[in-house]
Amino acid sequence: MHIYRRYKNGSIRLLKTVDTLAKMRKAKGDLAVSITTKLGIAPSPFLDRWRRQQVWEIAISNPKLPFKDADRQSYGMRTDLDGCRVTSSEFGTRIHAEMEQAIIHLMHGADYHSEYASYYRPFLKWMDNHQVLPTATERMIFDADLMLAGTMDLIAEMDGQVCVFDFKTRECRGADPRDKTYPKDAMQLAIGADIIKRQLNADYNLPIYSVIIDTETCQTGVKRWTEKAQLKHLKKALATNHYYNVMHDLYAR
Protein backbone atom coordinates (compact mmCIF):
# COMPACT_ATOMS: atom_id res chain seq x y z
CA MET A 1 0.00 0.00 0.00
CA HIS A 2 1.28 3.47 -0.90
CA ILE A 3 0.35 6.41 1.33
CA TYR A 4 1.53 9.93 0.52
CA ARG A 5 1.87 13.14 2.51
CA ARG A 6 1.68 16.68 1.15
CA TYR A 7 3.89 19.07 3.08
CA LYS A 8 3.40 22.80 3.66
CA ASN A 9 5.94 23.63 0.93
CA GLY A 10 3.79 21.72 -1.57
CA SER A 11 6.09 18.71 -1.93
CA ILE A 12 4.50 15.26 -2.03
CA ARG A 13 6.33 12.22 -0.71
CA LEU A 14 5.66 8.53 -0.28
CA LEU A 15 5.68 7.66 3.42
CA LYS A 16 7.68 4.69 4.66
CA THR A 17 6.55 4.63 8.30
CA VAL A 18 2.85 5.24 7.57
CA ASP A 19 2.16 2.18 5.44
CA THR A 20 -1.23 0.95 6.69
CA LEU A 21 -4.68 2.49 6.87
CA ALA A 22 -4.66 2.10 10.66
CA LYS A 23 -1.52 4.25 10.86
CA MET A 24 -2.99 6.70 8.36
CA ARG A 25 -6.12 7.22 10.47
CA LYS A 26 -3.93 8.21 13.43
CA ALA A 27 -1.51 10.41 11.50
CA LYS A 28 -1.75 14.19 11.20
CA GLY A 29 -1.58 16.38 8.12
CA ASP A 30 -2.62 15.93 4.50
CA LEU A 31 -2.39 12.22 3.70
CA ALA A 32 -3.67 10.31 0.68
CA VAL A 33 -3.83 6.76 -0.66
CA SER A 34 -2.59 5.94 -4.16
CA ILE A 35 -5.00 5.88 -7.10
CA THR A 36 -4.06 2.30 -8.02
CA THR A 37 -4.79 1.05 -4.51
CA LYS A 38 -8.21 2.67 -4.41
CA LEU A 39 -9.29 1.73 -7.92
CA GLY A 40 -8.11 -1.81 -7.24
CA ILE A 41 -11.39 -2.44 -5.40
CA ALA A 42 -13.50 -1.58 -8.47
CA PRO A 43 -15.09 -4.73 -9.93
CA SER A 44 -13.66 -6.12 -13.16
CA PRO A 45 -15.39 -9.50 -13.73
CA PHE A 46 -13.49 -10.52 -16.88
CA LEU A 47 -10.02 -9.69 -15.52
CA ASP A 48 -10.83 -11.15 -12.10
CA ARG A 49 -11.88 -14.48 -13.63
CA TRP A 50 -8.84 -14.49 -15.91
CA ARG A 51 -6.48 -13.88 -13.01
CA ARG A 52 -8.02 -16.61 -10.85
CA GLN A 53 -7.57 -19.00 -13.79
CA GLN A 54 -3.93 -17.97 -14.13
CA VAL A 55 -3.22 -18.50 -10.42
CA TRP A 56 -4.88 -21.92 -10.54
CA GLU A 57 -2.87 -23.02 -13.58
CA ILE A 58 0.39 -21.86 -12.02
CA ALA A 59 -0.43 -23.62 -8.75
CA ILE A 60 -1.27 -26.89 -10.54
CA SER A 61 1.96 -26.77 -12.53
CA ASN A 62 4.07 -25.83 -9.49
CA PRO A 63 2.45 -27.42 -6.42
CA LYS A 64 5.32 -26.41 -4.11
CA LEU A 65 5.30 -22.77 -5.21
CA PRO A 66 4.14 -20.44 -2.39
CA PHE A 67 0.84 -18.73 -3.06
CA LYS A 68 2.39 -15.25 -2.98
CA ASP A 69 4.75 -16.26 -5.79
CA ALA A 70 1.94 -17.82 -7.82
CA ASP A 71 -0.08 -14.64 -7.30
CA ARG A 72 2.89 -12.49 -8.38
CA GLN A 73 3.34 -14.53 -11.55
CA SER A 74 -0.36 -14.59 -12.40
CA TYR A 75 -0.07 -11.61 -14.73
CA GLY A 76 2.49 -13.49 -16.78
CA MET A 77 6.22 -14.03 -17.12
CA ARG A 78 8.50 -13.05 -19.96
CA THR A 79 12.16 -13.04 -20.95
CA ASP A 80 13.69 -9.58 -20.77
CA LEU A 81 16.25 -8.32 -23.29
CA ASP A 82 19.07 -9.42 -20.98
CA GLY A 83 17.77 -12.99 -21.05
CA CYS A 84 16.42 -12.97 -17.49
CA ARG A 85 12.91 -14.16 -16.65
CA VAL A 86 10.83 -11.42 -15.07
CA THR A 87 7.16 -10.84 -14.35
CA SER A 88 5.17 -8.90 -16.91
CA SER A 89 4.71 -6.22 -14.25
CA GLU A 90 8.46 -5.84 -13.79
CA PHE A 91 8.96 -5.69 -17.55
CA GLY A 92 6.23 -3.06 -17.86
CA THR A 93 7.89 -0.97 -15.14
CA ARG A 94 11.15 -1.10 -17.09
CA ILE A 95 9.46 0.02 -20.31
CA HIS A 96 7.76 2.86 -18.40
CA ALA A 97 11.17 4.00 -17.16
CA GLU A 98 12.63 3.85 -20.67
CA MET A 99 9.70 5.81 -22.09
CA GLU A 100 10.12 8.43 -19.37
CA GLN A 101 13.84 8.81 -20.12
CA ALA A 102 13.20 9.10 -23.86
CA ILE A 103 10.62 11.86 -23.32
CA ILE A 104 12.81 13.73 -20.80
CA HIS A 105 15.64 13.72 -23.35
CA LEU A 106 13.18 14.95 -25.98
CA MET A 107 12.13 17.82 -23.70
CA HIS A 108 15.80 18.83 -23.47
CA GLY A 109 16.34 18.56 -27.22
CA ALA A 110 18.48 15.44 -26.96
CA ASP A 111 18.27 11.96 -28.42
CA TYR A 112 17.96 8.90 -26.23
CA HIS A 113 19.42 5.55 -27.21
CA SER A 114 18.94 2.23 -25.45
CA GLU A 115 18.29 -1.40 -26.27
CA TYR A 116 14.58 -0.75 -25.60
CA ALA A 117 14.28 1.75 -28.45
CA SER A 118 11.79 -0.39 -30.37
CA TYR A 119 9.36 -0.03 -27.45
CA TYR A 120 9.48 3.76 -27.04
CA ARG A 121 10.21 5.07 -30.54
CA PRO A 122 6.73 4.39 -32.01
CA PHE A 123 5.16 6.73 -29.46
CA LEU A 124 7.84 9.38 -30.00
CA LYS A 125 7.00 9.22 -33.71
CA TRP A 126 3.28 9.55 -32.92
CA MET A 127 4.03 12.61 -30.78
CA ASP A 128 6.02 14.16 -33.60
CA ASN A 129 3.28 13.45 -36.15
CA HIS A 130 0.62 15.02 -33.90
CA GLN A 131 2.77 17.95 -32.75
CA VAL A 132 2.60 16.95 -29.10
CA LEU A 133 4.68 19.11 -26.74
CA PRO A 134 5.59 17.20 -23.56
CA THR A 135 5.68 19.36 -20.42
CA ALA A 136 6.04 16.87 -17.55
CA THR A 137 6.61 13.16 -16.93
CA GLU A 138 5.56 11.27 -13.81
CA ARG A 139 3.50 14.26 -12.67
CA MET A 140 2.46 13.84 -9.05
CA ILE A 141 -1.15 14.65 -8.21
CA PHE A 142 -2.67 15.06 -4.76
CA ASP A 143 -6.16 15.93 -3.57
CA ALA A 144 -6.57 16.35 0.18
CA ASP A 145 -10.39 16.26 0.07
CA LEU A 146 -10.46 13.03 -1.94
CA MET A 147 -7.45 11.70 0.04
CA LEU A 148 -6.10 10.55 -3.30
CA ALA A 149 -2.59 10.70 -4.77
CA GLY A 150 -0.66 9.23 -7.64
CA THR A 151 1.35 9.95 -10.77
CA MET A 152 0.34 10.71 -14.33
CA ASP A 153 2.79 9.27 -16.84
CA LEU A 154 2.84 12.26 -19.19
CA ILE A 155 1.36 15.75 -19.33
CA ALA A 156 1.59 17.44 -22.72
CA GLU A 157 0.11 20.21 -24.84
CA MET A 158 -1.64 19.42 -28.11
CA ASP A 159 -3.98 21.53 -30.21
CA GLY A 160 -3.90 24.27 -27.58
CA GLN A 161 -5.00 21.99 -24.74
CA VAL A 162 -3.30 20.25 -21.84
CA CYS A 163 -3.58 16.47 -22.26
CA VAL A 164 -2.93 13.53 -19.95
CA PHE A 165 -1.36 10.25 -21.09
CA ASP A 166 -1.02 6.86 -19.42
CA PHE A 167 1.34 4.10 -20.63
CA LYS A 168 0.37 0.42 -20.50
CA THR A 169 2.36 -2.60 -21.69
CA ARG A 170 0.17 -5.54 -22.72
CA GLU A 171 0.35 -8.72 -24.75
CA CYS A 172 -2.10 -7.97 -27.56
CA ARG A 173 -1.95 -11.34 -29.40
CA GLY A 174 -2.54 -9.79 -32.83
CA ALA A 175 -5.27 -7.38 -31.72
CA ASP A 176 -5.09 -3.65 -32.29
CA PRO A 177 -3.40 -2.30 -29.13
CA ARG A 178 -6.07 0.39 -28.92
CA ASP A 179 -8.61 -2.37 -28.26
CA LYS A 180 -6.66 -3.61 -25.23
CA THR A 181 -7.94 -0.92 -22.89
CA TYR A 182 -10.17 -1.41 -19.86
CA PRO A 183 -12.52 0.73 -17.73
CA LYS A 184 -9.95 1.11 -14.96
CA ASP A 185 -7.56 2.69 -17.48
CA ALA A 186 -10.12 5.42 -18.17
CA MET A 187 -11.03 5.76 -14.48
CA GLN A 188 -7.42 6.38 -13.48
CA LEU A 189 -6.90 8.90 -16.27
CA ALA A 190 -10.23 10.66 -15.74
CA ILE A 191 -9.85 11.31 -12.03
CA GLY A 192 -6.21 12.35 -12.45
CA ALA A 193 -7.10 14.73 -15.27
CA ASP A 194 -9.93 16.19 -13.19
CA ILE A 195 -7.55 16.95 -10.31
CA ILE A 196 -5.10 18.65 -12.69
CA LYS A 197 -7.97 20.55 -14.34
CA ARG A 198 -8.96 22.05 -10.99
CA GLN A 199 -5.34 22.86 -10.15
CA LEU A 200 -4.95 24.71 -13.47
CA ASN A 201 -8.40 26.33 -13.27
CA ALA A 202 -8.93 25.07 -16.82
CA ASP A 203 -12.32 25.75 -18.44
CA TYR A 204 -12.32 22.45 -20.36
CA ASN A 205 -11.96 18.75 -19.59
CA LEU A 206 -8.36 17.77 -20.20
CA PRO A 207 -8.27 15.14 -23.01
CA ILE A 208 -7.07 11.73 -21.82
CA TYR A 209 -5.12 9.12 -23.78
CA SER A 210 -4.16 5.50 -23.17
CA VAL A 211 -0.90 4.46 -24.84
CA ILE A 212 -0.82 0.68 -25.26
CA ILE A 213 2.52 -0.98 -26.11
CA ASP A 214 2.39 -4.58 -27.33
CA THR A 215 5.11 -6.43 -25.43
CA GLU A 216 5.56 -8.97 -28.23
CA THR A 217 5.58 -6.79 -31.35
CA CYS A 218 6.31 -3.31 -29.91
CA GLN A 219 3.30 -2.09 -31.93
CA THR A 220 1.87 0.94 -30.16
CA GLY A 221 -1.71 2.17 -30.18
CA VAL A 222 -2.82 5.55 -28.84
CA LYS A 223 -6.46 5.78 -27.81
CA ARG A 224 -8.14 9.06 -27.00
CA TRP A 225 -11.11 8.45 -24.74
CA THR A 226 -14.20 10.35 -25.82
CA GLU A 227 -15.38 13.11 -23.52
CA LYS A 228 -18.57 11.10 -22.89
CA ALA A 229 -16.53 8.07 -21.80
CA GLN A 230 -14.25 10.29 -19.76
CA LEU A 231 -17.12 11.80 -17.78
CA LYS A 232 -18.73 8.39 -17.26
CA HIS A 233 -15.53 6.89 -15.89
CA LEU A 234 -14.85 9.98 -13.77
CA LYS A 235 -18.17 9.35 -12.00
CA LYS A 236 -17.18 5.72 -11.45
CA ALA A 237 -13.74 6.70 -10.15
CA LEU A 238 -15.20 9.26 -7.72
CA ALA A 239 -17.77 6.73 -6.52
CA THR A 240 -15.06 4.09 -6.00
CA ASN A 241 -12.91 6.60 -4.13
CA HIS A 242 -15.83 7.60 -1.87
CA TYR A 243 -16.69 3.94 -1.18
CA TYR A 244 -13.06 3.21 -0.27
CA ASN A 245 -12.91 6.17 2.11
CA VAL A 246 -16.19 5.26 3.79
CA MET A 247 -15.40 1.55 4.19
CA HIS A 248 -12.00 2.33 5.70
CA ASP A 249 -13.20 5.18 7.95
CA LEU A 250 -10.89 7.72 6.31
CA TYR A 251 -13.39 10.57 6.60
CA ALA A 252 -13.17 10.23 10.39
CA ARG A 253 -9.53 11.33 10.42
pLDDT in tens, the chain (253 residues): 899 999 999 999 999 999 999 999 999 999 999 999 999 998 776 667 766 776 777 778 788 778 776 666 666 667 788 888 878 888 889 999 999 999 999 999 999 999 999 999 999 999 999 999 999 999 999 999 999 999 999 999 999 999 999 999 998 988 999 999 999 999 999 999 999 999 999 999 999 999 999 999 999 999 999 999 999 999 999 999 999 999 999 998 7
Q: Which residues, in sequence order, are CB contacts of 64 under 8 Å at separation 6+?
A: none
- Whether 63 is covered by a domain: the verdict is no
- Whether 54 is covered by a domain: the verdict is no
The CATH number assigned to the domain holding 192 equals 3.90.320
d(CA 29, CA 147): 11
The alpha carbon of residue 140 and the mean position of all alpha carbons in its chain are separated, in whole angstroms, by 12
- Whether 68 is covered by a domain: the verdict is no
- Whether 66 is covered by a domain: the verdict is no
Range of the domain at 139: 3-39+75-252
pTM: 0.89
d(CA 133, CA 112): 17
- Whether 89 is covered by a domain: the verdict is yes
For the chain, what percentages of helix, strand and coil (3-state, to nearest 5) are there? 45, 25, 30
Contact, 170 vs 213, CB < 8 A?
A: yes
- Whether 46 is covered by a domain: the verdict is no
Number of domains in the chain: 1
- Whether 222 is covered by a domain: the verdict is yes
- Whether 51 is covered by a domain: the verdict is no
d(CA 165, CA 124): 13
